[in-house]
């Protein structure tokens, strides 16, 4: 592959995202890795660790993306690519021993919460949910003062959280988790490795829904896990191989293609999100706003210390208007936009808008009138004009 670990460490992330995972610099080699469509590989001897052998074990098309993402996250090992973000979540949760305690944010991604809750209902794990922005509460959940309560086996972090944009003190919490004997998994989907590197902040495993910012074009469904711990990676690889949550080679090829423009997309969308958040914060039809880039946001100070930027997700609560409660006003806003796309997902080049509580799995603590905005790369004035006209339809 094109970049060694040492070379990647010496370059900016904006360069690594373009240069990593390329074929050897040899005469007549392609500039981009080829797509390999094969379910099996030739061989006669006993399989050694690292041999391809069979399509569920490995694929040459996975390798460049896994190398690139590992280097972007500052890991000492390549990432592991999965069939979806939730396939990666399942693999990460498999690291919890039977009956072990999982501490998880109350406002984690709803799919992650559902999976954890189902495991708890079956007695496989003990689940404790907590406000991840409340450092003392998280520490208490990790190592309860009651001697009869077991310490945690895993701390699950999202920062910012989905969709409430809560900011965790990642360094403090990873330190507390390790002191309690827990492994730390951080979902870095919202931030991307260009904005936040959880491994450098103490996390053991980093998770991505590759579907979102990394692939960036709303055309693939993939997930990934990253770690520098060889034993953890071996356990995760075994789970992926045996449980079959593997990526398709074409999806992996598309994801690497999308990854090349990550720095440009993140830079543009973050700048636009900041402008839109500032304007929305003073609009009379907005009841409240969450965006860590705003100085008034409760997570602003923390975000400044551990993030390079503030991400591209803005969440607002729409104020009730005459004849409409907040939820119906939020629905009307979503229905009135013409450029923003009402859809479930985030991180693509297009700007998406959605009232989150339309999903039955969303935690009830998420306000009914909360609207999540995933800011894309369109012109900022066009995006604002569309939002403004939609807000104007609410009257008042």
**Residues 160-205: pLDDT tens digits?**
999 999 999 999 999 999 999 999 999 999 999 999 999 999 999 9
Residues 290 and 228 reside in one and the same domain:
no
Query: Residues near 370 by Cβ (< 8 Å), separated by ≥ 6?
Result: 163, 164, 315, 316, 317, 330, 355, 356, 357
Residues 267 and 255 reside in one and the same domain:
no
The whole-model pTM stands at: 0.96
- Lowest mean pLDDT across 39-53, 102-116, 206-220, 249-263: 39-53
Residues 58 and 194 reside in one and the same domain:
yes
Structure tokens at 88: 């990666």
Please report where in the chains the tokens 């293609």 appear, as a residue: 257
Q: Which residues pair with 130 in a beta bridge?
A: 105
For the chain, the domain total comes to: 2
Choose one of 240, 259, 278: the last residue of a domain: 259
Question: Of the listed 56, 257, 260, 358, which one is catalytic?
Answer: 56
Cα gap 79→67, rounded to integer Å: 6
Residues 243 and 299 reside in one and the same domain:
no
Residues 103 and 219 reside in one and the same domain:
yes
Query: Residues near 91 by Cβ (< 8 Å), separated by ≥ 6?
Result: 80, 82, 225, 236, 239, 240, 243, 245
| pLDDT for 153 beyond 70 | yes
Query: What does the pLDDT read at residue 6?
Result: 84
Residues 136 and 17 reside in one and the same domain:
yes
User: Is the peptide bond between 163 and the residue preceding it cis, with omega within 30 degrees of 0?
Assistant: yes
In this predicted model, what pLDDT tens digit does every residue of 116-149 receive, in sequence order? 999 999 999 999 999 999 999 999 999 998 877 8
Residues 133 and 181 reside in one and the same domain:
yes
- State the DSSP string of 317-375: EEPPBTTB-HHHHHHHHHHH-SSSEE-S--SSSS-EEEEGGGSTTS-TTS-TTEEEEE-
Choose one of 259, 287, 307: the last residue of a domain: 259
Structure tokens at 248: 């398709």
Residues 253 and 307 reside in one and the same domain:
no
pLDDT band at 266 (very low <50, low <70, confident <90, very high): very high
- Identify the helix (H) or strand (E) that includes residue 158: strand 154-158
Residues 249 and 122 reside in one and the same domain:
yes
| pLDDT for 48 beyond 80 | no
Choose one of 259, 290, 319: the last residue of a domain: 259
| Three-state DSSP class for residue 108 | coil
Query: What does the pLDDT read at residue 148?
Result: 78
Residues 318 and 340 reside in one and the same domain:
yes
Q: What are the two backbone dihedrals, phi and then psi, of residue 131, each rounded to the nearest 5 degrees?
A: -70, 110
Beta carbons of 372 and 313 less than 8 angstroms apart: yes
Query: What does the pLDDT read at residue 396?
Result: 63
Structure tokens at 207: 């998770």
In this predicted model, what pLDDT tens digit does every residue of 161-171 receive, in sequence order? 999 999 999 99
β-bridge pairing 341-342 and 352-355: parallel
Average pLDDT, integer, range 316-328? 95
Average pLDDT, integer, range 337-343? 98
We report the CATH number of the domain holding residue 325 as 3.90.1150.10
Cα gap 183→384, rounded to integer Å: 42
Q: Where in the sequence is the domain holding 247, given as residue range(s)? A: 5-259
Cα atoms found within 13 Å of the Cα of residue 99, Cβ hemisphere only = 2
| pLDDT for 325 beyond 90 | yes
Cα gap 269→16, rounded to integer Å: 20
- Identify the helix (H) or strand (E) that includes residue 102: strand 101-105
User: Is 56 in the active site?
Assistant: yes
Query: What does the pLDDT read at residue 8?
Result: 87
We report the CATH number of the domain holding residue 100 as 3.40.640.10
Average pLDDT, integer, range 247-260? 98
Question: Of the listed 22, 128, 139, 212, which one is catalytic?
Answer: 212
Beta carbons of 105 and 130 less than 8 angstroms apart: yes
The alpha helices in 191-261, defined as continuous H runs, are 230-243, 249-259
Please report where in the chains the tokens 């297009």 appear, as a residue: 350
288: Cα separation from own chain's centroid = 24
Mean pLDDT rounded to a whole number for the chain: 96
| Three-state DSSP class for residue 247 | coil
Question: Of the listed 63, 169, 187, 297, which one is catalytic?
Answer: 187
pLDDT band at 44 (very low <50, low <70, confident <90, very high): confident
- Lowest mean pLDDT across 148-152, 243-247, 307-311: 148-152
Residues 121 and 238 reside in one and the same domain:
yes
User: Is 187 in the active site?
Assistant: yes
Cα gap 92→186, rounded to integer Å: 10
The alpha helices in the chain, defined as continuous H runs, are 5-10, 13-19, 62-72, 85-93, 110-121, 135-142, 170-179, 230-243, 249-259, 262-280, 300-306, 326-336, 380-392
Question: Of the listed 109, 139, 204, 372, which one is catalytic?
Answer: 109
Beta carbons of 123 and 169 less than 8 angstroms apart: no
Residues 249 and 294 reside in one and the same domain:
no
pLDDT band at 72 (very low <50, low <70, confident <90, very high): very high
Q: What is the C-alpha radius of gyration for the chain, rounded to an integer number of angstroms?
A: 21
């Amino acid at each position: 592959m094109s970049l060694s670990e040492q070379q990647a460490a010496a370059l900016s992330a904006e360069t690594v995202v373009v240069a990593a995972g390329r074929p050897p610099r040899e005469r007549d080699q392609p500039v981009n890795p080829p797509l390999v469509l094969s379910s099996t590989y030739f061989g006669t001897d006993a399989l050694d660790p690292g041999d391809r052998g069979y399509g569920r074990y490995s694929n040459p098309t996975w390798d460049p993306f896994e190398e690139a993402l590992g280097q972007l996250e500052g890991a000492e090992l390549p990432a592991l690519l999965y069939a979806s973000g939730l396939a990666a979540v399942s693999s990460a949760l498999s690291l919890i021993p039977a009956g072990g305690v999982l501490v998880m944010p109350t406002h984690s991604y709803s799919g992650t919460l559902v999976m954890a809750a189902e495991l708890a209902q079956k007695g496989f794990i003990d689940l404790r949910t907590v406000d991840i922005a409340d450092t003392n509460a998280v520490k208490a959940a990790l190592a309860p003062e009651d001697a009869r309560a077991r310490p945690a086996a895993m701390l699950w972090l999202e920062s910012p959280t989905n969709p409430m944009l809560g900011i965790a003190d990642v360094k403090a919490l990873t330190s507390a988790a390790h002191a309690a004997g827990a492994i730390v998994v951080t979902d870095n989907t919202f931030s991307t490795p260009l904005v936040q590197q959880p491994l450098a902040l103490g996390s053991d495993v980093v998770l991505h829904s590759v579907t979102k910012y990394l692939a960036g074009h709303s055309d693939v469904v993939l997930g990934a896990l990253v770690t520098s711990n060889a034993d953890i990676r071996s356990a995760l690889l075994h789970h992926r191989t045996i449980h079959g949550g593997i990526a398709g080679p074409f999806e992996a090829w598309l994801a690497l293609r999308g990854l090349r423009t990550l720095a440009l997309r993140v830079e543009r969308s973050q700048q636009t999100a900041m402008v839109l958040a500032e304007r929305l914060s003073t609009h009379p039809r907005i009841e409240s706003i969450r965006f860590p880039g705003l100085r008034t946001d409760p997570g602003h100070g923390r975000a400044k210390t551990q993030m390079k930027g503030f991400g591209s997700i803005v969440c607002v609560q729409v104020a009730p208007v005459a004849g409409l409660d907040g939820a119906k006003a939020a629905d009307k806003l979503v229905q009135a936009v013409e450029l923003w796309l009402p859809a479930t997902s985030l991180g693509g080049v297009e700007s998406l808008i959605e009232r989150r509580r339309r999903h039955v799995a969303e935690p009830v603590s998420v306000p009914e009138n909360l609207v999540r905005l995933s800011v894309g790369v369109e012109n900022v004035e066009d995006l604002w004009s569309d939002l403004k006209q939609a807000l104007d339809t609410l009257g008042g």
